[in-house]
């Protein structure tokens, strides 16, 4: 698998995860929704750190998710450039 294909696959997985979370958020207690958003944030940070997803693309995905679903809880997205060796 090429790095570009891997990055696109990772981006699609993140998009799908955020869409699923947004669809179910209204049926979950707020604390549960916040926890799921936090877990998606951690997954995003790890994907960027492992160079599976670019930082700019990750920010675009999160911004688009919040634009489509304004009720989605916002969690600070502090992305590292790379995972320290």
pLDDT in tens, the chain (85 residues): 898 999 999 999 999 999 999 999 889 898 898 899 999 999 999 999 899 999 999 999 999 999 999 888 877 777 665 555 4
Q: What is the pLDDT of residue 82?
A: 56
CA distances (Å), origin 47, targets 13, 25, 35, 64: 11, 23, 18, 18
Q: What is the pLDDT of residue 71?
A: 84
- pTM to 2 decimal places: 0.84
Q: What is the pLDDT of residue 1?
A: 86
Sign of CA dihedral 7, 9, 15, 67: positive
């Amino acid at each position: 698998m090429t790095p570009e294909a891997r990055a696109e696959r990772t981006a699609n997985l993140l998009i799908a995860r955020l869409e699923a979370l947004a669809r179910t958020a209204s049926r979950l207690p707020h604390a549960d929704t916040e926890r799921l958003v936090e877990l998606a944030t951690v997954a995003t940070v790890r994907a960027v750190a492992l160079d599976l997803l670019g930082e700019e693309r990750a920010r675009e995905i999160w911004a688009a998710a919040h634009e489509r679903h304004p009720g989605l809880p916002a969690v600070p997205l502090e992305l590292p450039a790379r995972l320290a060796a």
